[in-house]
Amino acid sequence: MAYRFYGWETASVTDRTGRTPCAYYDLLSKAWCAETCAPRMRDRWTADNRTLGQCSITAFLMQDVFGGEVRGVPLGDGNFHCFNVVGDCVFDLTSEQFGETKLCYENCPVQDRAVHFQKAEKHARYRLLRARLAAALDAQDNATLIDHWSRAFSETAGETPAAADVPDWKTIAPSEKLFRAAASLGGCQRALDYGCGSAWAAIIAAKSGSPDVTAADAAPGAITAAKARAALYGVQNCVHPVCVAPNWLETIPANTYDGLICSNVLDVVPPQTATDMLRAFAKITTPDATVVIGLNFYLSPEAAAQRGVTLADGSRLYQNGVLRLVSRTDEAWAAQFAPYFTVECLEHFAWPGEPRETRRLFYLRKGKG
């Protein structure tokens, strides 16, 4: 794909997730707006000229991402047009505002963010653009996750075993403790397995006595697998797989479910998405609901380095551009739950083949912790 901003052909520098300046240009194209445009140019800003008045806040934001220097092309009015220099890589994400005018990017002075941000309105615009970019990054991470898991489940959807080879339903959970967690929803009249994957938890809840279990997932491939497995275990009348939109939880009435399990989801989505999910969980569950949250292990930055991987922002682990973990301690997760739930019990468990029980199961009750 061809871009029109200066330096795009050689803008090969990457952030910790593998994103290049071109990738950030795509994201920022959705984030730039009249409110982030310099006030003196705002009356001329349009969606067709979206880079107008965005140079300094964009360049300093890209410095946050890629490092390097922000330099400025002197303009005739005494101002500077800001761009980025990272090693030998020079790029200007907002150059299109000048149309056919060619700027000289050689021997330009370094720009000091402290000087630029002495202007309160510019610092406010920078913070707004940073927030809008963060939202765009989260949306992209979520879309990539859905695609990744949909393909993963689609690849195994056709692997239907013969009746004699179907595993006993009491063995389909990845661990005994996860089985007990799912089975604890058996006494619930209406349960939700959110981020259900192949619906192993929903099947166990139904087999344990729950007459109505919604198995919800945003990945179409997961829902295909969930329907097949529910039929395989004879609970298709109790387990209801639903492929959900990102705002699905917001559409569910308050106090709908007296049981909820969410396993291996909250810590593989962006933090704001996890917060939104928890807020929704608190709304849609009854006051006495059984709520179980399954999480991966905590991976410290030091432990990540020993494994030869880097955590973006100190907590996010990406593999091949896919967010695979947002690492938080037990205490950090308890604090995350606290505005909505009280932690009743925390158990640690292991998946098959793991030598230590480091994964987490939080049993929660509604109410601030």
pLDDT in tens, 38-53: 999 999 999 999 999 9
pLDDT-based confidence at residue 161 (cuts at 50, 70, 90)? low
Rounded to whole angstroms, how far apart are CA atoms 26 and 29? 5
Return the minimum-mean-pLDDT range out of 176-185, 203-212, 311-320, 353-362. Answer: 311-320
Contacts of 235 (CB under 8 A, 6+ apart): 203, 206, 207, 213
- HSE of 329 in the Cβ direction (CA atoms, 13 Å)? 6
Residue 77 reports pLDDT greater than 90: no
Give me the pLDDT at residue 316, please. 94
pTM: 0.87
Domain spans of the chain, in order of start: 8-139, 157-295+328-366
CATH node for 157-295+328-366? 3.40.50.150
**Number of neighbouring beta carbons within 10 Å of residue 201:** 31
**CA dist 290 → 213, 274, 286 (Å):** 13, 19, 9
Q: Apex CA 342: angle with CA 340 and CA 347, to 5°?
A: 125
Note the pLDDT tens digit of each residue in 242-277.
Answer: 999 999 999 999 999 999 999 999 999 999 999 999
